[in-house]
Amino acid sequence: MNSDKSFRVEKDSMGEFNVPEDAYYGAQTMRAVENFPISSLRFPRNFIKAIGLIKYSAAKVNFELGLIDEEIASSIRTAAQEVSEGKFDDQFVVDIFQTGSGTSTNMNANEVISNRAIEILGGSIGSKNPVHPNDHVNMGQSSNDVIPTAIHISALLGIKKQLIPSLEILKNELGEKAIEFMEVVKTGRTHLQDATPITLGQSFEGFVGQISKSIDRIDRSCSDISEVALGGTAVGTGVNTHLEFSSRVCEVLSDSLSLEIKETDNHFQAQSTLDALVECSGSLKTLAVSLMKIANDIRWMGSGPRAGIGEIDLPSVQPGSSIMPGKVNPVIPESVCQVAAQVIGNDQTIVVAGQSGNFEINVMMPVAGYNLLESIDILSSVSSNFASQCISGIKATSKGPDMVKNGLAIATTLVPHIGYDAAALIAKEAQHTGKTIMEIAKLKTDISEYDLDRILDPMSMTVRGSTSGPSGG
């Protein structure tokens, strides 16, 4: 062991261990730091907030149940509150890739809180006196129920306080553009080929629907996420915990967070599976797929500006090239696509983790929790950024209406009047000669110019029931 005077010697069940003198964590945390030098990844802020609130609520309830004296309970609550507020984030030093139950992180929290409580009471950090990390801070708990509870609470916080508000901002911006562009006709496209007209606003209306549906899916997943494993202790039986402990802690947590937190009605399910996380991640993956579709459509509609589709102008937020002067790239939609790819990858990790439960515990809780929380965080950030940096500044160009006028797909509305075969011949001749459908139709049909103007009006094709006849993809 290192004999440097900057270390203090602590004892745990395995013997003596050197801990940095100024650290609030203890021997068990330090062993984990040395055992898992894997990455730079750590649990995020919302998780630390959640575990701090769990320890705060547990101390409050244990005092009310007569299981811990007032002075110790008060010092734990003060320390745990400080942890939840972020004052000791630098003391949470255990790698994500650790023991699969998250025991090291739970003990990290227990040691930080107990040592801070000892300090508040005028004792010596590392002494475990008068506040013990296991006997007092962890009373009525196990890592096996605390860690999944902290993951659920932090996910719920992220979804309710960050992600859904960000998605609402994006949905509203898309909705504004749907209204603004509702009278701007453009070419519809199927199979990447010209199809019958649509309005730019209708395209954006589709985007609104995608985001709205994702909000609903994610919100529904919160029902299971709000159920927590706390109270099951080691294997779901609730050994060494008071019968009222979990339900009362959940009440305190609900009041503190203004969110519904409830004890699961099946602790054996809650502690042996990650099913709720898998479901929630699936809804996030669906959102990622939607965002990628929206971002790519916007990239394509804004492509050019002269050699592409160019139906919209995207806001210029930065120079696009180190070599090509004046080039501006769709960098915001590109960042959306990259976030989507990351979230889809995170979901695969969570799926694999969800398959790794054996008997009464799943041993991949830390990595599943980390990936879920990362997905929530980056989806929250990218959605609001997409709205403010890109969607709000999009402008329609004249290319959309011009391409419809010169396009071939409007021949579709001639079908009810002259038949499919005759309309196809007109489209082929227009393609061969470079003339418009209107010009060829004037020559090849007996329909009056007045009626042709009405039949071939692109805007009329964007309204359901305005024409009749067969259609195809």
Q: For the chain, which domains are there?
A: 22-139 (1.10.275.10), 145-183+196-230+267-396 (1.20.200.10), 407-462 (1.10.40.30)
Rounded distance between C-alpha atoms, residue 328 and residue 295, angstroms: 16
Q: In the structure encoding, which two tokens stand for residue 126, read together?
A: 């590392």
List per-residue pLDDT tens for the chain, 473 residues long: 444 569 999 988 899 999 999 999 999 999 999 999 999 999 999 999 999 999 999 999 999 999 999 999 999 999 999 999 999 999 999 999 999 999 999 999 999 999 999 999 999 999 999 999 999 999 999 999 999 999 999 999 999 999 999 999 999 999 999 999 999 999 999 999 999 999 999 999 999 999 999 999 999 999 999 999 999 999 999 999 999 999 999 999 999 999 999 999 999 999 999 999 999 999 999 999 999 999 999 999 999 988 999 999 999 988 877 777 778 899 999 999 999 999 999 999 999 999 999 999 999 999 999 999 999 999 999 999 999 999 999 999 999 999 999 999 999 999 999 999 999 999 999 999 999 999 999 999 999 999 999 999 999 999 987 654 444 45
Query: What pLDDT does residue 435 have?
Result: 95
Is residue 463 packed enough to be buried (19+ CB in 10 Å), middle (13-18) or exposed (0-12)?
exposed
User: In terms of Cα–Cα distance, which of 165, 308, 144 is closest to 229?
Assistant: 144
Which residues, 6+ apart, have CB-to-CB distance to 94 below 8 Å? 29, 32, 33, 36, 42, 104, 105, 108
Q: How far apart are CA 105 and CA 91, in angstroms?
A: 11
Cross-strand pairs, 195 = 188
Task: Give me 211's structure tokens.
Answer: 């985001």
Helix/strand/coil for 127:
coil
DSSP 191: T
Q: Give the pLDDT of residue 473.
A: 54
Q: Which residues are bridge partners to 198 per DSSP?
A: 186
Report CA 253 to chain centroid distance, whole Å.
Answer: 23
Rounded to 10 degrees, what is the CA torsion of 133, 138, 139, 144?
-150
List, by residue number, the catalytic residues: 191, 321
